[in-house]
Chain A
Amino acid sequence: MMGIYIFIFFAYLFGPLIIMSITAFNSAEFPSITPWECFSFRWFNEGKIAYDGQHLAGLLSDWRLHDGIISSLIIGAGVVTLSVPIGMAAAIVLTQVRSQLRDIYYSISIMPVLFPGVIIGISTVVLWDRIAGLGGEGFIADIGRNGIFLTILAQTCFISTYCFLIFVARLQRFDQTQEEAALDLGASQTQVFFKILVPYLSPAIASAAVIAFLFSFENYNTTVFSILSDQTLTTVIASKVRLGISPALSALALTIIALTIIAAVTYEVLRRRAEKRYAESQEKFVKEKAADNRINKKYKAGFKIPKGITAILLIVVFATYGATQIVKNDLYGQSCIDAADKEKKSKFLEQLQTLESNELTDEELSGGSLGGNQDYGDIFGDPSLFQDFGGFD
């Protein structure tokens, strides 16, 4: 029962992502699994020129996407460098504030999270437009109308609050006598900060930086206003979707998913290695301390089947089935794509011809059997229309 529930839950979570990832390999112009055209990597590369002459850019050839990614990275770096120190400083201040002021200070500090992102975006633009207007044509005017700069400021507004919360959580467990001990041992306040507090906070600094970057990278509703004439990854994608969705976006999504998974796996491997090293040092310590007979040395782990085996098997079965289908029906490679293109081109021409032959006459345009005045033009002439209308009182 539990297994089924977990399966449904994960299917719900990852189903759309899996489908989307598969569509990245279909050569069709619109992201789809059925009908399957050809297996191809072209959405990761240069894309294609469609049968009607439209250029559908692939991931590698889409310069607007590249520009968007670069500005997203710049903004992300800027947001990290601003929000992490701001969040940390605010959290440290919270530990120093006593009395009722503390609650007020805390409420004010977390308020930006509660504001709609749209409002933060718009208000940043409005404020800096005024500021830019003040200074004439100089430097202030330039940066006041620089989309990337404004986006960094606007995002920092609320992302620094997330950093603040991370630091608050870590600082709650900080033993403040350590600061006092360091002071007592002759350290100055600055030394206490860099030698005691910062090392203690370093895990929080790392996670705050990662979270700040991710929040910045995926933000849309604030960015769309504050970015002005520039583009970030999210605004590029949004404008693309408006024109019709392309499989290049599936390719991009798959790339991001793959990078995320690689990062997560690397982190996990490193963490386990560190954990193992720690466990070994602990074991050594215990062996030094305790008598031999208290340590059971015979324990040896047997081979265990991983718990996720069903899921892995399922994926393998489906992947094999899909692959054999593709190979059997020759649905891959350049020849398949050429054939599909040719077919579509001929269909397109056929349709064009049909359209031309069905071209409407002037009379039909001025009032067809469906769109003319005859049926609806005389609506107020209907004598029964106001029958039940009692008039205005």
Chain B
Amino acid sequence: MSADVELSDVSVTFGSFYAAKNVNVKVNGGEFFSFLGPSGCGKTTLLRAISGFQEPSEGKVLIDNKDMSGIGPNKRPTALIFQNLALFPLMSVSENIAFSLEVRGVSKEERKKRADELLELIALEGQGDKKVHQLSGGQKQRVAIARALAVEPKVLLLDEPLSALDLKLRQRMRTELREIQKRVNITFIYITHDQGEALTMSDRIAVMNEGELEQIGKCDEVYNNPLTPFVATFVGENNPLYGKVTGIEGDKAKIETADGQYLATMNESKKLNIGDESIAFVRPESLFIPRDGDNFDNKIDVNIESFEFEGNLKNFYASLKSGAKIKFSVPNAIDTSSITSGSSIVLGFESSKSIILPKASLAID
């Protein structure tokens, strides 16, 4: 049912512009795989290369170990869910779902039977005669999925299909998508710029920037052990502390910044030497306000500038002596009435929760 998808050295160029450059990735059959990256990073181009709307300029797309070059989108075992869904407005819901069967010459009764089955799968029983415009946003979403599944594709490609929905619906659709994927057990390749979506749904994610793959890995791996400053700041939030390496102890490195010395963990594949320009990253949720008895590896003096209430979290924006900005989050349950704008406090973080990487550009946001 499901198939492997392999991109081998795939490059897509438009003139002299590389939309995707030397992309190598192997998506396993039955996996929920996400391409995550800012808009314009080439992830949609890759998806179009897999679905057959875009021939790669170099390299090969293999589905089920078969080379797909020269095979049109209507002949590939993939189905694509478009960002705007692209439901056919002149057809009813059932006609939409059964479109792929109709063009294959499947009989009317068979089509109806299959459409009803799929309507049941997406929990829209008995609504097949409605027109598309009579459905709500989430229902349209599910119809688009059902329409794509009707072909019984081996790979389902999703191009930011949730971006038009409101927050609550988006959260519910995440769970639903995941469940549908488990039920039909086919390969899902998902494209998104929303790291929350990618992290909650995927088995593995690939982070892309400017046409190139930055990192491929399991969600927690990518989040906790980013390989590049771009990944560190694009997936989740991170506070960068710029400086020079002054000492190395095992897998830890000491970094000297304008605001003091910190100890941070090195990545196995990104070893540093003394004197290297580098960045230590610490996430807002890893910064703590020390209580009695707490003993952190690193301490950092900050001056609170502003405060924002997010609901489950309270976010504080503070500045260091050098003027660098830093953000930290405190669960709403913790009382922070003593911390006000202008007050100076000391924050602590563990070296194991801080990553140090060679200096490179961050994700701009």
Contact = CB atoms under 8 A, between A and B. Distances in A.
Contact of B79 (A185, A199, A200, A289): A185
A175 B100 contact: no
Contacts of B39: none
Contact of A196 (B83, B88, B100): B88
A260 B47 CA distance: 54
B134 A199 contact: no
Given A182-B99, A281-B134, A188 B74 contact: yes
5 shortest interchain CB distances as A-B pairs: A181-B86, A185-B100, A177-B86, A187-B103, A184-B80
B28 to A, nearest CB: 23
A195 interface: yes
B103 A184 contact: no
Nearest to A179: B86
Given A184-B52, A184-B73, A184-B79, 17 more contacts: A177-B83, A178-B86, A178-B88, A180-B80, A180-B86, A181-B87, A182-B99, A184-B78, A185-B99, A185-B147, A186-B74, A186-B151, A187-B103, A195-B102, A195-B103, A196-B88, A281-B134
A185 B85 CA distance: 13
Contacts of B102: 195
Q: Interface range on chain B: under 10, 10 to 19, 20 to 34, or 35 or more?
A: 20 to 34
Contacts of A282: 134
Interface in B106-160: 134, 136, 147-148, 150-151
B40 interface: no
A175 B86 contact: yes
A183 B72 contact: yes
A186 B90 contact: no
Nearest to A289: B136
B75 to A, nearest CB: 8
Given A195-B103, A285-B134, A184 B51 contact: yes
Contacts of A175: 84, 86
A184 B103 CA distance: 11
Given A177-B84, A178-B88, A281-B134, A186 B104 contact: yes
A185 B82 contact: no
Q: Decide if the interface of chain A is mainly helix, strand, loop or mixed.
A: helix
A185 B72 contact: no
B53 interface: yes
Nearest to B135: A285
21 contacts: A175-B84, A177-B82, A177-B83, A180-B73, A181-B82, A181-B87, A182-B88, A182-B99, A184-B51, A184-B80, A185-B99, A185-B150, A185-B151, A186-B75, A186-B100, A186-B104, A187-B99, A187-B103, A188-B74, A188-B103, A200-B90
A183 B88 CA distance: 13
A288 to B, nearest CB: 9
A191 interface: yes
Contacts of B99: 182, 185, 187, 195
Nearest to B136: A289
B14 to A, nearest CB: 12
A229 to B, nearest CB: 48
A282 B53 CA distance: 37
Contacts of B104: 186
A67 to B, nearest CB: 43
Interface centre among B51, B79, B99 (most CB of A within 10 A): B99
Interface string A140-184: 000000000000000000000000000000000001011011111
A300 B137 CA distance: 32
Nearest to A191: B103
Contacts of A180: 53, 73, 80, 82, 86
Given A191-B103, A195-B103, A285-B134, A184 B84 contact: no
Q: Which of A180, A181, A184, A289 has the most C-beta atoms of chain B within 10 angstroms of its own C-beta?
A: A184
A200 B91 CA distance: 11
B257 to A, nearest CB: 49
Contacts of A182: 88, 99, 103
A188 B104 CA distance: 10
A261 B55 CA distance: 56
A177 B86 CA distance: 6
